[in-house]
Amino acid sequence: MSTQEHLQQRIELLEKRLVGLEDIEQIKRLQRMYGYYIDNRLWTEMAELFSDAEAVMEIGQRGRYLGKHNIEQFLLDVLGQGRSGLLRDEFINHMQLQGVVTLGDDGKQAQGRWRALIQGNPPAGSRSLFWAEGVYENTYVKEAGTWKIARLWWVPTFYTSHPCDSLSFASSPASASLPPQQPSAEPDSELGRTFVPFHYQHPITGHAVTRVTSKT
C-alpha cells in the first residue's frame, strides 16, 4: 500500500469515527430534550420525537403503544390524565443519568440505556412528594438525517411517596446589605415560580417550545 493510499484510508476511518461521535451526541441531546419536555408535561412535543415509521412506547406494565398518534394519546390521556402543562406550584423533575449509546454497524440505528430518577409532587394541595427510579432501554433510528426515538422502553425499579411538611417555591429575596445591580426575572404568575425558557427549538419540528400551564 502506498503512502497516499494509507493516508486516504486513515482519513476515511477518521471521518467515520467523527460521524459516529456526532451521531452519539445527537442521540444524547434528543433523549435529554425528552426529559425536559416531560418535566413540563408537553405531550405533543414528546410524541414528535418519535419515528414516523414504527414508533413504540412501553412504560412499565401499561402495555405497548404503537405509532406516534397512539403514543400521543397515551401520554395525554393516561400519563397526563387528560391535561397538558403544569398546575400552579406543581413540579416534575425527570433526570436521565448514566447514558450509554451504542451505534449500529449501519449508522442508521442505535441503542441507548439510561437511568431515570424522577421526583415531583401531586397537584397542589397534597402534602407528599413522589419519587421513582427505573431504567430506559431505547432504540433510535436515523430518518432523513435526523435521529428519532423508535422504541422507548422504561422499566421501573421502584415508586414511593413520603410526607412533606412544607414545600417552598419562593427564592430568598435580594440582599439588602449588598443590593444586586439588576433585579431577577419576574416569577410566572400562573406557574407560581420562575420558568426558565428553552433556548433551543424542537429537534424534529424546528418550532420554538414554550411551557403550558394547566387550568384544571
Average pLDDT over residues 110-116: 98
| Contacts of 35 by beta carbon, 8 Å cutoff, 6+ apart | 94, 95, 96, 116
Query: Which CATH number among 3.30.70.2190, 3.40.640.10, 3.10.450.50, 1.20.1740.10 corresponds to the domain 3-163?
Result: 3.10.450.50
Q: What is the pTM of this model?
A: 0.90
Burial (Cβ within 10 Å: 0-12, 13-18, ≥19) of residue 3: exposed
| Segment 68-85, tens digit of pLDDT | 999 999 999 999 999 999
Question: Contact at 8 Å (CB) between 50 and 31?
Answer: no
Domain boundaries, the chain: 3-163
pLDDT value of residue 23: 96
The answer on pLDDT for 123 being more than 80 is no
Whether the CA torsion 191, 196, 202, 203 is positive or negative: it is: negative
Measured distance CA(109)–CA(99) in Å, rounded: 16
